[in-house]
A and B are shown apart, each in its own frame.
Chain A
Amino acid sequence: MKEAPLDYVKRNISGRLEAGLRHSAAKRSKAIVSSLVYYFVLLSLSFVFVYPLLYMVSKSLMQSWDVADATVRWIPTRFSLYNYQVAFAEMKYWQGFLNSVVTSFGSAALQIVSCSLIGYGFARYRFPGYGLWLGLLVFTFLVPPQTIVVPLYMFFSDLGWINTHLPFVVPAAFGHGLQGALFVLIFIQFYRRLPGVLEEAARIDGAGHMRTYWQIMFPLGRPAMLVVFLFSSVWHWNDNFQPSTYLQLPPFYNLAQRMSGFYGKANMSAEQMSQSISAEAIGMAPTLINQIMAGVILSILPILLMYLFVQRYFVESVERSGIAGE
């Protein structure tokens, strides 16, 4: 029995359509499931990252009776900024803040200028000894700062730089300092990716090599600058090793050091309190965790605020700066 050609075509088309519809429905539901899973994973990971912050904020707002009360887990019974006032006064916040600003933002700004200049030189020029210096740059990145801390301390103390900001700022101006080599490498990567046409045009117009750099290439380095500035300022801000080596008198302490000091003090007074406490109250050892957490938050608040503002540009910059080339 031979089928009519039209029927054959009809049957075939409708069959295919059905199969296609079924296929796309299956595909769609699969896509929904996979995006649900995706967001679930992202949200739970985000929770892990945000959790310590929430914990700190919640604890820092609690009063001592809330901390001792097991039924109060997250939300304090009464809102009060008392802990912050204590921490603020104990840490002599403004003094520490100013010291931190100079050592971290000052060094970061200088590192932008110096590391960009050096990175450009490595990216665009080939000169005798190029491989050697580049190798030494990587070597510098690998040497732990602890290995050279003794001679550096003596060097700075001979110069009379202990308890000043100079041990942070001056190496930064030379493209060294905290993670300086890494920042130079970031700039090298960035400038290598820029097309050379721009400089050629400037050179033909008669600009010298330094003028070409400062007027054309340096301003183009903004994405890399943002990344370097954020990393450098944050790392300097949170660093405790260098400041505790070079800043030894309390008035010169930066916020991280003051926070450590405040932490030790709070722990000690909590211990004294628990020693003087009567026998009935054993098992309810007082902690000053609420004040400590207020201190921690105060000490990272400035960079946290900065991160909130630059976060958007930061993520874009990382993509464009080619932080990860080669």
Chain B
Amino acid sequence: MRWRHFLEGYSFVGLWIAGFFLFMAIPLGRSLYYSFQELKTSREGLIAEYVGTLHFRAAFTVDVNFLPLLRETMTTMLSHVPLVLVFAMICALLLNRHARGRMFFRGIFFLPVIIASGTILKKLMEQGAAQLPIFMQYDLYSKLRLFIPGDGLVTLLEYSDSLTLVMWDSGVQILIFLAGLQTISPQLYEAAKCDGATKWESFWKITFPMILPMVFVNTLFTMVNSFTKADNGVMNHLRTVVFSNNNYGYGSALGWIYFMMIFMLLGIVFLLFRKSLTSMEGRG
């Protein structure tokens, strides 16, 4: 009976395991192998020659593009992730309110999921269409002058200008937060209200702890997303190395360095969340 249960389980997930070997484990192993080889195309196909850690050393010493691109990717990621999380959280809280027309607004807020993935946003950014010119141009400045004193205004407008990019990146995150907010029972808020908690207090005492797992998921997702985005410099560099220069061995090594970096960062995030997540377990 037990064995039958095991077999039945494997009959469902066996497909994935087969795929894992074909499309993940074997390619990953081969890519690690290639990263220590010099691959040359010849009449008999590819010829591999063992070169040791040459490619890895070259990435940090010879390649002038790789390190700056890597640093740029890391810094944009570090500044980007907290902004996306905060913005997505605010949007999700707004959309979660029982107000008229929220279905309409939700439809609009998820538009970035449709448009902003991949190349299209990249093209739009090159044309300046993804950013709002109103923040810097038109007469918004002179109009706002009436309400806000001059000094802070310019920095505020500049900041809002870069914020639009953050907004365009947070479609899926809003969705995940919203789905998380829906799972919190309204009775909790009622009970807190009866005990005299303000909205602010009930956010930090109820909403935030309940939604912490989603914060974790979103952090992971945003990080992975920003590492593999179409306008990511490292990614484009890698593609040039592999497909324009046909330097397969070096490309594999770059891929592995990049992957290790990402993995280390994700590991740090995982450790940070681990404590708070384990204390949340058992809430069902």
Write the residues of chain A forming the contact surface with B, with a CB cutoff of 8 angstroms. Answer: 35, 38-39, 41-42, 45-46, 48-53, 55-56, 59, 114, 117-118, 120-122, 124-128, 130, 133, 136-137, 140-152, 154-155, 171, 174-177, 180, 184, 209-210, 213, 231, 234-235, 238-241, 244-245, 256, 259-260, 263, 289, 292-293, 296, 299-300, 303-304, 307, 311-312, 314-315, 318-319, 321-326
A263 touches B213 (CB 8 A): no
Pick the interface stretch among B19-27, B50-58, B140-148, B201-209: B19-27
B214 touches A117 (CB 8 A): no
Given contacts A50-B108, A213-B12, A238-B117, contact A147 B259 (CB under 8 A): yes
Contacts of B101 in A (CB 8 A): 39
Taken residue by residue from 14 to 48, chain B's Cβ proximity to chain A (1 for < 8 Å, 0 otherwise) reads as 01111110111011101100100000000000100
B99, B120, B129: the one within 8 Å of A35 (CB)? B99
Contacts of A256 in B (CB 8 A): 118-120
Q: How far is the CA of A315 from the CA of B262 in the complex (A)?
A: 31
Pick the interface stretch among B63-71, B77-85, B224-232: B224-232
A45 touches B91 (CB 8 A): yes
Q: How far is the CA of A117 from the CA of B14 in the complex (A)?
A: 10
Does B97 have its Cβ within 8 Å of any Cβ on chain A? yes
A142 touches B46 (CB 8 A): no
Contacts of A56 in B (CB 8 A): 124, 129
Question: In the complex, which residue of chain B has the Cβ closest to the Cβ of A174?
Answer: B19
Contacts of A235 in B (CB 8 A): 117-118
Q: How far is the CB of A77 from chain B (nearest CB, A)?
A: 21
Q: How far is the CA of A122 from the CA of B115 in the complex (A)?
A: 32
Contacts of B248 in A (CB 8 A): 150, 154
Contacts of A326 in B (CB 8 A): 213
B19 touches A175 (CB 8 A): yes
- Extra 15 A-B pairs, beta carbons < 8 Å, given A125-B9, A304-B115, A324-B213: A55-B129, A143-B28, A144-B255, A146-B228, A149-B238, A174-B15, A175-B15, A175-B16, A176-B19, A209-B8, A235-B117, A260-B119, A260-B123, A300-B120, A311-B107
Question: In the complex, which residue of chain A has the Cβ closest to the Cβ of B106?
Answer: A315
A142 touches B262 (CB 8 A): yes
Contacts of B127 in A (CB 8 A): 289, 292-293
Tell me whether chain B's interface is mostly helix, strand or loop, or mixed: helix
B123, B132, B235: the one within 8 Å of A241 (CB)? B235
Does B176 have its Cβ within 8 Å of any Cβ on chain A? yes
Does B182 have its Cβ within 8 Å of any Cβ on chain A? yes
Contacts of A311 in B (CB 8 A): 107, 110
Does B11 have its Cβ within 8 Å of any Cβ on chain A? yes
Write the residues of chain B forming the contact surface with A, with a CB cutoff of 8 angstroms. Answer: 5-6, 8-13, 15-20, 22-24, 26-28, 30-31, 34, 46, 91, 94, 97, 99, 101, 103, 105-115, 117-120, 123-124, 127, 129-130, 132, 164, 167-168, 172, 175-180, 182-183, 213-214, 217, 220, 224, 227-228, 230, 235, 238-239, 242-243, 248, 251-252, 255-256, 258-259, 262-263, 266
Given contacts A42-B105, A49-B167, A176-B23, contact A296 B120 (CB under 8 A): yes
Q: How far is the CA of A82 from the CA of B119 in the complex (A)?
A: 24
Q: How far is the CA of A323 from the CA of B178 in the complex (A)?
A: 10
A318 touches B20 (CB 8 A): no
B179 touches A319 (CB 8 A): yes
Q: How far is the CA of A143 from the CA of B220 in the complex (A)?
A: 12
B6, B27, B120, B262: the one within 8 Å of A148 (CB)? B27
Q: How far is the CA of A314 from the CA of B176 in the complex (A)?
A: 13
Most B CB within 10 A of own CB, among A146, A180, A307:
A146
Contacts of A319 in B (CB 8 A): 178-179, 182
Question: In the complex, which residue of chain B has the Cβ closest to the Cβ of A123?
Answer: B12
B17, B106, B132, B263: the one within 8 Å of A51 (CB)? B132
Question: In the complex, which residue of chain B has the Cβ closest to the Cβ of A319?
Answer: B182
